[in-house]
Structure 1
Amino acid sequence: MIQLMSEELEPAELLPVGTLLHRRYCIDGILGRGTYGITYCGHDEKTGTRIALKEYFPYALAVRAEQGQALHPKNKACGALFFLGSEMFYRQHLALTDAKGSDNLVTVYTAFFENGTSYAVMEHLVGITLERFLQLRRRRLYPEEAMYIAASLADALLVVHSLNSLHYDINAKSIFLCTDGKVKLVDFGAAKAGLRARHEVDDTEPWIDLSAIGRTLYEAMTGLAVFGEGIQPHANIPPQFFEFLWHLLETSGYRRIASVFDYRHALACVEIGAICPDVVDEDVTSSIPEPRKNASQSRPQEARAKEAAAQPLPKKSILDRALDAMEGAVASEPKDAEEQVQKEARIKRKVWVIYGGVVCVALILTLIIRGLIH
């Protein structure tokens, strides 16, 4: 990070060099100040690791005591907002200590309360912000650079949103370009994202981070500020990437890119050349080709009959043959009721004759056996 001159900040607002916080984190200097706080550089007394330490200090709501290091609200009206913001700052950064799986998100080691406010201990990054990069290079972002930043932020937001949190303050100052080539998302919008845990925001709010990315990249590629939701095509932006940015900022009607998963899918489509459009009923019906007319329909009926007779019959399956046999058996049964009755009578007479013959044979055998015994 770039160390700012101490003259840019009032000495009374700063913690002195050498201040020890949480009994282990020592302040070595000042990195900068934002709307919600001051960022210091320092080191961990126990491990010797270099750290960045951010103090929640919204200058519009609080002041530092003349004697000591504690912060106090400017008045009673500011008190509720200050303490709520401090709690949200703590809860958000504490949640980020569980953020794993992304090299594009600043590592947060811990968060704690002290001096009437809250602090977050993070890794110390070496590099510059996107805003400073554009100032030093005196040029706009190239499309390849914008694509790389967009992909890096997608990985970072996937982790952040999975923790039920939001950044809420993505801009050129919160996109950090490290000297090793990595892009890191830093400087979270402290006082707002924790409201998500209290169910005070709706499910559409992940789109807030995504639209902020679209606005930041458009301004970085064109140098034009985005007011409202409308953006215009620009010579520095390829058509496919402009369409991607336009859908990030578009809010009227259906939001095509409303989640990180939609964002990553759309970005992948840009890499292969186009944004995948929504599929509607008209597109589906228009994509189905009309069936071609069969050439045999224009032939005379006799020709079709001869052609059908000449074609070999298809081989039937076992099930088809079984069904045919059942149909034949049913068709072969006599349909005349009287004939059926006569047939049953003849069968009964034959049965009785056979039964009578068997009985007679049994009696004769019985008499013969008795005669032999006596």
Structure 2
Amino acid sequence: MSPPQANQPLPPGHQLENYRIERQLSMGGFSIVYLAYDEEDTPVAIKEYLPNSLALRSAGDVLPTISEEHRATFRHGMKCFFEEGRALAHLSHPNVVRVLNFFRANETVYMVMQYERGRTLQEHIQKHRGEIKETFIRNVFVRLLNGLREVHTHKLLHLDIKPANIYLRIDGNPVLLDFGAARQALGGEGPNLKPMYTPGYAAPEQYKAPDQLGPWTDIYAVGASMYACLGGTVPQPAIDRLEKDRFEPAAKKWVGKYSPQLLETIDWCLDLDHHERPLSVFALQKALTERQPAVNESTWIDTLGQRLRGLIKK
């Protein structure tokens, strides 16, 4: 089967309800995100539901072409996307992207979000690969987890947490972007739809047991995102780990560079068995706020002994 064609974005200057499209910000297999301005000239981000594998919009068109074969699946995904927008609109937290509006137009649906200035954690990792400090990791993720706790309190799951979906505002405060629950719901709807989760960050139950999704699923992705901060590498995809686990634990790979407690916390999140992970955001936050010395007592004593032996030899 040939890969689906990429959809053409709406052109700059296009009027979409009360919003004027300025430019495309990003495009994925599921949606297109635009920078737009409202009637008061306030910038907003607008996310358009438009899966490549189900609909095609050609250059110069506004309405997508949806074949009869894909229409039911497209509408199911549109319903999930719309319901996700409606649920997120009830959320108001400084560490979660603010959904301002959602509406139907052009035979699809749109989600209007507050436009954030800054850069993604992914960009930060690429710029500072191997140089990210433990204090930065703890500070970013403890605050991010405040937002995730609010999400889970509303009986919602994110299901696509990764550094590219964690935005760092100019003041350094993190914001959780681009929820993936609608994509997850659409992922099992037919042979034309590839899985829409991100390898390395998606928990094993997203591949094998979608009926077992829960807060622990997002916690796996948080652990994978912290793991990526350590050295710029992504953990082995969970689906591959289930076949042959070659995952190198953080506690082994970065021993001596970060505190054992932080590394063990990251590995805890990345357990393949969801029963063995932190079962709540609160439990993970508690672990991240428990600061311990970067070198444990036995290591410190061994190091001191080596120094003393060196002095005696002199």
Q: Shorter-chain TM-score: which interval?
A: 0.7 to 0.9
SS state at 2:276 partner = coil
2:8 is aligned, of 13, 36, 39, to: 13
Farther-moved stretch of structure 1 (84-93 vs 61-70): 61-70
TM-score normalized by the length of structure 2 = 0.74
> Per-residue displacement from partner, 1:329-357 (whole Å, max 9, x unpaired)?
xxxxxxxxxxxxxxxxxxxxxxxxxxxxx
Alignment correspondent of 1:333: none
Asked whether 1:160 is paired with 2:155, we answer no
Aligned-pair distance for 1:220? Answer: 2.2
Note closer, same or farther for the CA distance 1:249–1:30 as it changes in structure 2 (3 Å cut): same
Query: Counterpart of 1:20 in structure 2: which amino acid?
Result: Q
Deviation at 1:175, TM superposition (A): 0.7
Structure 2 CA distance for aligned equivalents of residues 174 and 107 of structure 1: 14
The SS at the match of 2:218 is helix
Residue equivalent to 1:27: 21
Distance in 2 between the 1:220 and 1:176 partners? 14
Q: Cα deviations across residues 294-330 of structure 1 (Å, max 9, x unaligned)?
A: xxxxxxxxxxxxxxxxxxxxxxxxxxxxxxxxxxxxx
Percent identity reads: 31
Q: Distance in 2 between matches of 1:68 and 1:120?
A: 20
Amino acid in structure 2 at the alignment position of 1:136: K
Partner residue of 2:271?
A: 250
* SS, match of residue 41 in structure 1: strand
Q: 1:20 to 1:201 in 2, by over 3 A?
A: same
- Deviation of 1:70 after TM superposition, in Å, equals 1.5
Greater helix proportion: 1
Which stretches in structure 1 are left out of the alignment for 5+ residues? 1-8, 275-374
Note if 1:210 corresponds to 2:219.
yes
2:42: which partner in 1?
49
Deviation at 1:192, TM superposition (A): 4.2
CA distance in 1 between counterparts of 2:214 and 2:274 reads 15
> What SS does the aligned partner of 1:72 have?
coil
* 1:197-241 Cα distance to aligned partner (Å, 9 max, x none): xxx965652211110010111022123331136442233432100
Which residue of structure 2 aligns with residue 336 of structure 1?
A: none
The 8 Å contact of residues 140 and 223 in structure 1, kept in 2 or not, is answered as no
CA distance in 1, matches of 2:274, 2:104: 43
The 8 Å contact of residues 138 and 289 in structure 2, kept in 1 or not, is answered as no
- Residue identity matched to 2:85: H
Aligned residues: 256
Q: Which structure is richer in relative contact order (CA contacts within 8 A, separation 6 or more)?
A: 2
Residue matched to 1:109? 100
- Measure, in 2, the Cα distance between the counterparts of 1:110 and 1:223: 35
* Structure 1 SS opposite 2:22: strand
1:240 to 242, 254, 261: 261
Counterpart among 84, 87, 104 of residue 79 in structure 2: 87
Unaligned runs of 5+ in 2: 187-208, 242-246, 295-314
Following TM superposition, by how much is the alpha carbon of 1:249 offset from its aligned partner in structure 2, in angstroms?
1.0
- Contact kept in structure 1, 2:140 and 2:173, CA below 8 Å: no
Rounded to whole Å, the distance in 2 between the matches of 1:151 and 1:95 is 24
Distance 1:231 1:150, change over 3 A: farther
The amino acid that maps onto 2:27 is R
Q: Which amino acid aligns with 1:188?
A: F
User: Structure 1 residues 192, 161: closer, same or farther in 2, change over 3 A?
Assistant: farther
CA drift of 1:267 comes to 2.1
**Cα separation, 2, equivalents of 1:70 and 1:253:** 42
In structure 2, do the counterparts of structure 1 residues 125 and 27 end up closer, same or farther at CA, with 3 Å as the change threshold? same
Q: CA deviation at 1:170?
A: 0.8
2:34 matched to which residue of 1?
40
User: How many Å apart are 1:255 and its aligned residue?
Assistant: 2.1
Q: Larger radius of gyration, structure 1 or 2?
A: 1
Equivalent residues of 2:270, 2:277 under 8 A apart = no
